[in-house]
Amino acid sequence: MTPEEIFRSLYLIRRVEEECCRVYSSDKIQSPFHSSIGQEFASVAVCAALRPEDKAFGSYRGHALYLAKGGNLRAFIAELYGRATGCAKGKGGSMHLVDAKAGLIGCSAIVGQLIPVAVGYAWAQKIKRTGIVTAVFFGDGATEEGVYFEALNLAALHKLPILFVCENNGYAIVTPVGKRQPTAIIGRANAIGVPAVSVETFDGILATSEAFVSWVRSGEGPRFLDVCLPRLKEHVGPDEDWNQGYRVEDRTWKDPVRTAAERIPHGIQVRISAEVEEEIADAFAFAEASPFPTPEELLRDVYGA
């Protein structure tokens, strides 16, 4: 990605999230809302290393991944509004985003649920010899699920073409990682046989993502990225929660959106910002003008015996 493309992607995600936070109290957004503000650079950097045909799986905090992978902005906002024109026809909401055309197979509200599904998808790609890389995103809390260890073990055993991306914000809701895990996340991944590294900066994850995706694609087996990043909003909802005392604001953190803006000429920054603002305004207008799903939708997309 060029510096301009990086800024556009980061700025789009940040401003979309800020607008969602702004309208959330109006009840126009009809689902729980897990903000990606502060975590955008993980998705942008990894997706920059992926090809359009590569696939991604995400968690309930999947807004940044959806947009970074190229998901349709109108369909995204419409889904948050619960409208029929949403990416999941208004039935999934914020936690169940999907855009198969963009390569996002889906997100899930269940912690760790799609990690084994992504491993299965990667196994299918290896059997078919498609050359497709699968990336699966999850939070640090998901690394405590039993299925997580089973999935990593299987991926390592069969050298599957998958990149594990842990968006490590240091908390499972309100409990810090140090009170939940006795050893480092990358230590356990390395012990299973999945080479893992921790990264904290945008430049670091950008370079590491490119290298890891290349290695995975070449058939060397899975890789693991532990991306240490901040969650700037509360676990769920549009507000800040520093006053609750369970976590401490990191004053040394440098905002990657601001860093990306500093790396391009001011005139280009202004132009891109204006274009993005127009796209966002259009998407919200589209969502508000879209209809709600009809009662008949309750019986569609449902599998039965």
Cβ atoms within 10 A of the Cβ of 57, count? 27
DSSP letter at 103? T
* Identity of residue 89: K
> 48-57, 150-159, 167-176, 214-223 — which is least confidently predicted?
167-176
Predicted confidence (pLDDT) per residue in 240-290, tens digit: 888 888 887 777 788 999 999 999 999 999 999 999 999 999 999 999 999
pLDDT in tens, 33-43: 999 999 999 99
Q: With CA atoms as reference, report the closest residue to 281 among 35, 47, 22, 10.
A: 22
Q: Tell me if 290 sits within 8 A of 83, measured CB to CB.
A: yes
Model confidence at 299, pLDDT cuts 50, 70, 90, reads confident
Would you call 186 helix, strand, or coil by DSSP?
Answer: helix
- Please give the share of the chain, as a percent, with pLDDT higher than 90: 81
Asked whether the predicted pLDDT for residue 305 surpasses 70, the reply is no
Compute the average pLDDT of residues 104-108.
Answer: 95
Residue 52 CB burial class (10 angstroms; 0-12, 13-18, ≥19): exposed
Which of 98, 139, 137 is closest to 236 using CA atoms? Answer: 139
Burial of 99 (0-12, 13-18, 19+ CB in 10 A): buried
Spell out a b/e string for 249-274, using b for 16 or more CB atoms within 10 Å of the CB, else e: eeeeeebbbebbbeebeeeebeebbe
Q: Mean of the pLDDT values across residues 127-143?
A: 97
Tally Cβ neighbours within 10 Å of residue 174.
Answer: 12
Backbone angles phi, psi at 267, to 5 degrees: -60, -40
pLDDT grade for 225, boundaries at 50, 70 and 90: very high
Q: Is the torsion defined by CA of 90, 94, 99, 100 positive or negative?
A: negative
Task: Evaluate the CA torsion angle 27, 114, 205, 235 in order and state its sign.
Answer: positive
Tell me which CATH homologous superfamily contains domain 3-291.
Answer: Thiamin diphosphate (ThDP)-binding fold, Pyr/PP domains (3.40.50.970)
For the chain, the structural domain boundaries read 3-291
Q: Strand order in 134-139's β-sheet?
A: 104-107, 55-58, 134-139, 162-168, 223-228, 196-199
A 10 A CB-CB count for 242 gives 11
Other beta carbons within 10 angstroms of residue 104's beta carbon come to 25
- pLDDT tier at 4 (50, 70, 90 boundaries)? very high
What is the per-residue pLDDT across 46-90, written as a single tens digit (0 to 9) for each? 999 999 999 999 999 999 999 999 999 999 999 999 999 999 999
Residues 6+ apart with CB under 8 A from 110: none
